[in-house]
Amino acid sequence: MDSFRFRMSKWLMDRRAWVAGFFVATTVAFAAGIPGVEIRTIFSDLLPADDPFVQVFKQHPNFGNPLNVMVMVKRTDGEDIYNEQTLQKVWDLTKNLDLIPGVYHERLISITTEKVTYAEATPYGVEMRPVMDDSVPTAAEQLRDIERRVERSPSASGYLVSPDHTATLINVAFHEHLLEYGQVWREVRKLTQAAEDDAHEIYLAGQPMLTGWVYKLQEQTYEIFGVTLLLLVLALAFYMRNVTGVLVPIICSAVAAVWGFGLVGWIGSPIEPLLMIVPLLLVARTFSHSVQFTERFYEILGHVDSKRQSAEITMGVMMAPSVLGIITDALGIMFIGIAPLPAMQRFALFCGWWAICIIPTGVILISVLLSYLPTPKNVDDIVGKGEEKGIHRLQRGLLTQIANLVQGRTARMTTVVSVILSAAAIFFAFQIKIGNPVEGSNLLWPESDYNTAVRAINGHFPGVNSLEIILDSKDDDDMQLRTASTADAYRVSKKIQHIAENAEPIPARTTISFSDYLERGNRLLSGGHPKWLPMDPEDKAVTGARVGVTFGQNPINFAGVSDFNFQDSTVSLFYRDNKQETIDAALATARKAVEAVGEDHPGFKVLLASGTIALQEASNQVVVRYHWLILACLAAAILVIATFAYRSIVAAFIVLIPVTLANFFLTAAMYFLGVGLDINSVMVAVLGVGVGIDYGIYLLSRIVEEYSAQDKDLGKTLTASITTTGKAIMFTAFVMLIGILPWYFLSDLKFMADMGLLLSAVMLINMFLALIVLPLLVWLIKPKFIERDDLIVGENVDLSHWTGARRVDDDSPSVPGATVTSS
Amino acid sequence: MHIRKYDIDYGRRKLLQNTAMGAGAGVLMPYGMAMAQDTDVQKAWPDELWSVEAQTKGKFKPGDMITKDNVEDIKHLLDDSAYLQIKEEGREIRIKAPERDISKMFNAGYYEATMNNLKPGNEAKLDSETGNVVTQSGKPYGGGLPFPNPKTGQETWANLAMSWGRADANCYAIQQWDFNGDGKLEFRYDFQWVELQMQGRLDGKAYPGHENEIRRQSVYFASSQDVRGTAFLSNWPYDQRKIPELYGYLPQFRRVRQFPANQRFEPLIPGSTWFLTDPWGAGDPYLTWGNYKIIERKPMLGAWNGNVNIDRENWEPVEQASNNKFWETEYEMTPECIVVECEPTAFPRSPISKKRVYVDTRNSQVCAAVRYDKQGKLWANFEMAFAQFKKGDQMVPGWNGKDPAWSWTYVMIYDHQSKRQSRTHNAERGTGIEGRFAADQDWLYETYCTQGAIQALGTV
Q: How far is B223 from chain A (nearest CA, A)?
A: 9
Largest Cα span, chain B: 71
Q: Which residues of B touch A98 (CB under 8 A)?
A: 351, 374-375
Task: Count CA atoms closer than 13 A to B365's CA, side-chain side.
Answer: 27
Residue B142 domain flag: no
pLDDT at A809: 37
Q: Do strands B290-302 and B329-343 pair parallel, antiparallel, or not at all (unpaired)?
A: antiparallel
- Determine the residue type at A769: L
The answer to whether residue A126 neighbours chain B at the CB level (below 8 Å) is yes
pLDDT at A802: 61
pLDDT at B256: 83
Is the CB of A551 less than 8 angstroms away from the CB of B269? yes
Question: B-side interface with A, Cβ within 8 Å?
Answer: 180, 184-188, 224-227, 230, 232, 247-248, 250-253, 255-263, 265-271, 347-349, 351, 373-375, 451
The answer to whether residue A526 neighbours chain B at the CB level (below 8 Å) is yes
Of residues A524 and A570, more confidently modeled: A570
pLDDT of residue A125 exceeding 50, the answer is yes
Q: Which of A176, A564, A566 to mutate to test the interface with B (most CBs of B within 10 A)?
A: A564
Q: Which of A124-138, A329-343, A400-414 has the lowest mean pLDDT?
A: A124-138
User: Which CATH number covers residue B390?
Assistant: 2.50.20.10
Q: What is the pLDDT of residues B249-265, one digit of tens each?
A: 988 888 787 877 667 89
pLDDT of residue A383 exceeding 90, the answer is no
pLDDT at A161: 96
The whole domain housing B367 covers 159-458
pLDDT at A697: 83
Is the CB of A124 less than 8 angstroms away from the CB of B256? yes
Residue B263 domain flag: yes
Q: How far is A345 from chain B (nearest CA, A)?
A: 29
Residue A805's pLDDT band (boundaries 50, 70, 90)? very low
Closest CA to A685 of A653, A662, A654, A669: A662
Mean pLDDT across A511-540: 85
| Cβ neighbours, 10 Å, residue B58 | 10
pLDDT at B345: 95
Residue A197's pLDDT band (boundaries 50, 70, 90)? very high
pLDDT at A133: 87
Q: Which of A668-682, B221-235, B316-330 has the highest mean pLDDT?
A: B316-330
Residue A818's pLDDT band (boundaries 50, 70, 90)? very low
Of the partner residues B185, B252, B373, the one whose CB lies closest to the CB of residue A548: B252
Residue A27's pLDDT band (boundaries 50, 70, 90)? very high
Residue B428's pLDDT band (boundaries 50, 70, 90)? very high
Beta bridge partners of A122: A125
Q: Which of B175, B180, B186 to mutate to test the interface with A (most CBs of A within 10 A)?
A: B186
Of residues A141 and A695, more confidently modeled: A141
The answer to whether residue A99 neighbours chain B at the CB level (below 8 Å) is yes
Dihedral pair phi/psi, residue B191, rounded to 5°: -150, 155
Is the CB of A552 less than 8 angstroms away from the CB of B248? yes
Mean pLDDT across A769-788: 91
> What is the predicted ipTM?
0.87
Q: Which of A561-565, A643-647, A692-696 has the highest mean pLDDT?
A: A561-565
**What are the residues whose beta carbons fall under 8 Å from the beta carbon of A54, sequence distance 6 or more?**
A47, A48, A615, A618
Residue A272's pLDDT band (boundaries 50, 70, 90)? confident
Residue B149 domain flag: no
- The DSSP annotation for B128-197 comes to TTT--EE-TTSSBP-SS-S-SS--SHHHHHHHHHH-SSSSSEEEEEEEEEEE-TTS-EEEEEEEEEEEEE
CA geometry: angle at A172 spanning A169 and A173, to 5°? 140
Residue B18 domain flag: no
- Determine the residue type at B305: N
Q: How far is A495 from chain B (nearest CA, A)?
A: 25
Of the partner residues B188, B259, B266, the one whose CB lies closest to the CB of residue A479: B188
pLDDT of residue A385 exceeding 80, the answer is no
Closest CA to A249 of A366, A379, A372, A373: A366
Using the 8-state DSSP alphabet, how is residue B106 labeled?
Answer: S
Q: Each residue of B121-134: b (16+ CB within 10 Å) or e? A: eeebbbeeeebbbb
Of the partner residues B267, B347, B375, the one whose CB lies closest to the CB of residue A99: B375
The answer to whether residue A55 neighbours chain B at the CB level (below 8 Å) is no
Q: What is the pLDDT of residues B76-123, one digit of tens each?
A: 999 999 999 999 999 999 999 999 899 999 999 999 999 999 888 888
Residue A792's pLDDT band (boundaries 50, 70, 90)? low
Work out how many domains chain B is built from and give that number. 1
Residue B313 domain flag: yes
pLDDT at B434: 94
Of residues B36 and B274, more confidently modeled: B274
pLDDT of residue B177 exceeding 50, the answer is yes
pLDDT of residue A812 exceeding 50, the answer is no
pLDDT at A124: 61
What is the percent of chain A where pLDDT is above 90? 45
d(CA B33, CA B156): 18
pLDDT of residue A98 exceeding 60, the answer is yes
Is the CB of A134 less than 8 angstroms away from the CB of B269? no
Q: What is the pLDDT of residues A400-440, one digit of tens each?
A: 999 999 998 899 999 999 999 999 999 999 998 887 777 88
Is residue B55 classed as helix, strand or coil in its secondary structure? helix
- Which DSSP helix (H) or strand (E) runs through A191? helix A181-195
d(CA A248, CA B298): 68
pLDDT of residue A120 exceeding 80, the answer is no
Of the partner residues B262, B271, B351, the one whose CB lies closest to the CB of residue A130: B262
d(CA B164, CA B167): 8
Residue B249 domain flag: yes
- The DSSP annotation for B392-412 comes to TTEE-B-TTSSSBPEEEEEEE
Q: Which residues of B touch A117 (CB under 8 A)?
A: 260
Residue A3's pLDDT band (boundaries 50, 70, 90)? confident
Q: Which of A90-94, A175-179, A633-637 has the lowest mean pLDDT?
A: A175-179
